[in-house]
Chains A and B, each alone.
Chain A
């Protein structure tokens, strides 16, 4: 395997491409995403989206914040060649919901809010709560893994150039902000 520090820099585009594709897939292929996680009721963009447009001199950043924020600036930035660098997501399964932010460089879930668990009181409770929490975190880790695996399959396939990118361009050029 390649040196990790070198790989982190060399492939820093990969996570941003994933998040950019994810925005497209969330709007255009929700059924495909649902098929990757049998327990998913919905997956939506939450209250934060950050885009980076890197050129030779500097990186232009567009940040969209707030629960009712419009996506006009984000769409415009995409049209200019920006990629999604951070995305807050709301994942729902049954009556429960999870919210977290993914950064393109690591795809680690940050600011992770999971459904509430019981209070800790006894030793048995500690174990039970730990197991419950583990499964709640596991859902997010598994979701990220499943979404990224699907993206990777596409990204390493000829369909990426022949079908995915053309569909993306059509979407972004016809999408209203």
Chain B
């Protein structure tokens, strides 16, 4: 689990703002497209049929939904095979026995596009719990890619920012932290647990 603090206030009523943000940025299928990767929101209970109109993401005093990252992974050897075939075909068409770097680059783009249309995306689903009275959000993953995708999509969807919670930010957001203690915190240096002569 990764924890975040939600910073800022929504522009409109919270529930409606969240419903709109989720609906407008719900995941769209890319299986029939050349696109290799997409991210969007989905439902925890129906991750392959995202719809937020019934408001079921709002439970007690939290919002429960999920981040879905769909990614097409084309095996390197499949790309190599199709590239070899495409290069051979191109050489035969042009009557040359070599291809320029630019031609190879264009061929690779074409091969990847064709393969992307044929290979279905693998979905990754990461549950999210937004405890709005406490401005806290939990992502049920510690993957860096999931965290980065969440931070970007959250800002785009709700016009609110997320601050990752780790020891320093936990201290910074501690309700009892006075200005004097914040100064002390910012000047902290490592303690020596074994030697007596530390500063």
Please give, as numbers and ranges, the residues of chain A lying within 8 Å of B186 by CB-CB distance: 2
- Which chain A residues (1-17) contact chain B, with CB distance < 8 Å? 1-2, 4, 7-8, 10-11, 13-15, 17
Closest chain B residue to A148, Cβ basis: B170
Please give, as numbers and ranges, the residues of chain B lying within 8 Å of A80 by CB-CB distance: 194
Of the 9-residue stretches B57-65, B85-93, B102-110, B113-121, which lies at the interface with chain A? B57-65
Please give, as numbers and ranges, the residues of chain B lying within 8 Å of A17 by CB-CB distance: 190-191, 193
A155 touches B1 (CB 8 A): no
| Interface residue from B60, B142, B170 paired with A110 (Cβ < 8 Å) | B142
Q: Interface code A142-158, partner B: CB below 8 Å = 1, 0 otherwise? A: 00010011001101100
Q: Does any Cβ of B come within 8 Å of A45's Cβ?
A: no
Number of B residues, CB within 8 Å of A: 39
Please give, as numbers and ranges, the residues of chain A lying within 8 Å of B170 by CB-CB distance: 107, 145, 148, 152
Please give, as numbers and ranges, the residues of chain A lying within 8 Å of B168 by CB-CB distance: 2, 7-8, 10-11, 14
- Which chain B residues (161-199) contact chain A, with CB distance < 8 Å? 163-172, 174, 176, 181, 184-186, 188, 190-196
A4 to B44: give the CA distance in the assembly, Å: 30
User: What DSSP secondary structure best describes chain A's contact surface?
Assistant: helix
A172 touches B129 (CB 8 A): no
B193 touches A83 (CB 8 A): yes
A123 touches B56 (CB 8 A): yes
Q: Does any Cβ of B come within 8 Å of A99's Cβ?
A: no
Distance in Å: Cβ of B187 to nearest Cβ of chain A: 10
| Interface residue from A106, A120, A168 paired with B166 (Cβ < 8 Å) | A106
| Interface residue from A105, A108, A155, A169 paired with B3 (Cβ < 8 Å) | A108
Residue from A2, A11, A80 whose CB has the most chain B CB atoms within 10 Å: A11
B188 touches A155 (CB 8 A): yes
Given contacts A106-B165, A120-B45, A134-B131, 12 further A-B contacts (CB under 8 A): A11-B167, A14-B168, A14-B171, A15-B167, A17-B193, A79-B194, A83-B193, A104-B167, A131-B60, A137-B129, A160-B191, A169-B193
Top 10 A-B residue pairs of the complex, sorted by shortest distance between their CB atoms? A14-B167, A11-B168, A15-B167, A13-B190, A7-B168, A106-B166, A156-B184, A81-B194, A156-B181, A131-B60
Q: Please give the residue numbers on chain B whose beta carbons come within 8 Å of chain A beta carbons, in ascending order.
A: 1-3, 44-45, 56, 59-60, 62, 64, 129, 131, 136, 138, 142, 163-172, 174, 176, 181, 184-186, 188, 190-196
Q: Please give the residue numbers on chain A whose beta carbons come within 8 Å of chain B beta carbons, in ascending order.
A: 1-2, 4, 7-8, 10-11, 13-15, 17-18, 20, 78-81, 83, 104-110, 112, 120, 123, 126-127, 130-131, 134, 137, 141, 145, 148-149, 152-153, 155-156, 160, 165-166, 168-169, 172
